[in-house]
Amino acid sequence: MNIEMWIRALKAARAGADVSQEALAAAIRWSPSTVAAIETGRRRPTMEFAVAADQALGTGGLLASLLSENEARGGPSWFESWPGEEERAVRLCYFEPCLVPGLLQTEEYARAVVSAGGLYRSDRVEHLVSLRMSRQRLLHRSDPPECVFVIDESALHRPVGGRAVMDRQLGSLLEAVELPQVRLHVLPLGVGAHASMGGGFVLAQLSGDDRLLCLDNAARGQIADYPEWIGLVQRKWEHLLGEALSESASIELINKLKVTS
């Protein structure tokens, strides 16, 4: 799908409904700066945005339908804009309760994750793995964002792809923490109940005061800039970071698991 055509469709729908950018932003509970960024092509639209805009502008699902055409050719449509937001971020905070975060996955670990359950054809699996690997370039660029990861200890015990694959994944984590902009903390099993048992998330701090939230679930995820959501997840993040092991203790645990895996 041509994103420029989608933007023209959005602008035409907004003009036809006599709705300003500010009024649309208020109606769908996104910030005016986000609406402006999408209409100027600086930020890719998400399915969440398209569905909300369809409802606000009375377009009968047109915007969502046009956007969904791209999903078969790329990654999930809701996620399509996220790599660009990662690239723009100055700080990224990741929490993963079940697996190693995508930015830190080895290729064989990622392939095992994407192919689990046989949900995708082999060519689709390879495409999604390639997209995931390409995102990792931001960790090695000249001006990388600060990246802080909190990983639940259970993810480090699960032998994704088998013991050998997991052993190499643990070794890759130990290499990643050598990067000056990467901090990694393990949330130990002994913590028990914690503030984000419902799922993982990423908080992105962009330039200025802009912040974005990326959520994922079993059906589809979403990218949002709702202040109340971001405030809640920020409090969850602070709780998780407070419960997690220190960097040195986390590295010690990973080394121990690697030896015994």
User: If you average pLDDT over every residue of the chain, what do you get?
Assistant: 88
Q: Are 23 and 151 in a shared domain? A: no
75 domain-assigned = no
Over residues 206-218, mean pLDDT: 81
Do residues 223 and 84 touch, judged by C-beta distance below 8 A? no
Predicted confidence (pLDDT) per residue in 128-155, tens digit: 899 889 989 999 999 999 999 999 999 9
- Give pLDDT tens digits for 74-95: 555 545 667 778 888 999 999 9
Structural domain that includes position 160 = 81-260
**What is the CATH number for 19?**
1.10.260.40
Residue 138 shares a structural domain with residue 240: yes
Tokens, residue 161: 């792809």
Q: What is the pLDDT of residues 26-36, one digit of tens each?
A: 999 888 888 98
For the segment 228-245, the average pLDDT, to the nearest whole number, is 94
Same domain for 159 and 30, yes or no, is no
**b/e sequence 113-151, b meaning 16+ C-beta within 10 Å:** bbbeeeeeeeeebebbbebbeebbebbeeeebbebbbbb
The answer, yes or no, to whether residue 72 has pLDDT greater than 50, is: no
Mean pLDDT of the 249-258 span: 96
pTM above 0.75, yes or no: no
Q: How many domains does the chain have?
A: 2
Mean pLDDT along residues 21-29: 92
- Residue 156: inside a domain: yes
Does residue 208 have a pLDDT over 80?
no
Which of 68, 90, 115 is the last residue in one of the domains?
Answer: 68
**7 plus 103 within the same structural domain:** no
Does residue 238 form part of some domain?
Answer: yes
Task: Let me know whether 125 and 58 are in one domain.
Answer: no
